[in-house]
Amino acid sequence: MEGQKERQFYVRSPKYPESFKRRVIEEYLSTGIDKLTLQKKYGIRFKSAICTWMKRMEYEDIRGKKPYFEIVNRIALKKQYSDKEGQAPQDEAALKARIKLLERQLEDEKFRSEGYSMMIDIAEKELKVSIRKKAVTK
């Protein structure tokens, strides 16, 4: 048997009906159960099944990982504007104050972006590793 390759047999993953996939996705989105627990509960073998199904069926993962700064900014803005929700400022002074606040936030974000860019430049120089994607790559 030397010279002959051993045959490898692959186990095919079971085909689940679309109604089953939708039920699992709906349960994931509506309850606080994590994906791994649902996979064990329903005997789903491959670990990225729920994510794959959600992409194919165009579901949005509202519980997925979000960038840290986005979450922090949302919390801060929610606290700041929770009492004003649904009410639009009517007077000119309130509108000017709102514009000033938004301009300040824009400046802060530009500053943060510039800081990230500088961090990447330093990391590329010190580690001698290309981090940014080159424009001419395919």
Question: Where exactly are the structural domains of the chain?
Answer: 11-72, 92-138
| Span 9-38, average pLDDT | 82
Helix (H, G, I), strand (E, B) or coil at 124: helix
Q: Using an 8 Å Cβ cutoff, are 27 and 38 in contact?
A: yes
Instruction: State yes or no: pLDDT of 95 exceeds 90.
Output: no
Tokens of 12: 């095919």
Give the residue, 104 or 14, on which the prediction is more confident. Answer: 104
Comparing 34 with 14, which gets the higher pLDDT?
34
What pLDDT score was predicted for residue 105?
92
Q: What is the pLDDT of residue 133?
A: 76
**C-alpha–C-alpha distance, residues 68 and 110, integer Å:** 17
The pLDDT of residue 122: 92
pLDDT digits (tens, 9 = 90+) for 37-90: 989 999 888 878 888 888 888 887 776 665 555 555 665 666 666 555 555 556
C-alpha dist (Å) from residue 68 to 15, 25, 61, 91, 129: 37, 25, 16, 35, 25
From residue 67, how far is each of 5, 32, 47, 77, 109 by CA, in Å?
48, 20, 23, 16, 14
Answer with the residue of higher pLDDT: 90 or 16: 16
**Residue 28: per-residue pLDDT:** 86
Class in CATH terms, 11-72: mainly alpha
User: What was the pLDDT predicted at 126?
Assistant: 92
Q: Tens digit of pLDDT for each residue in 103-131?
A: 999 999 999 999 999 999 999 899 888 88
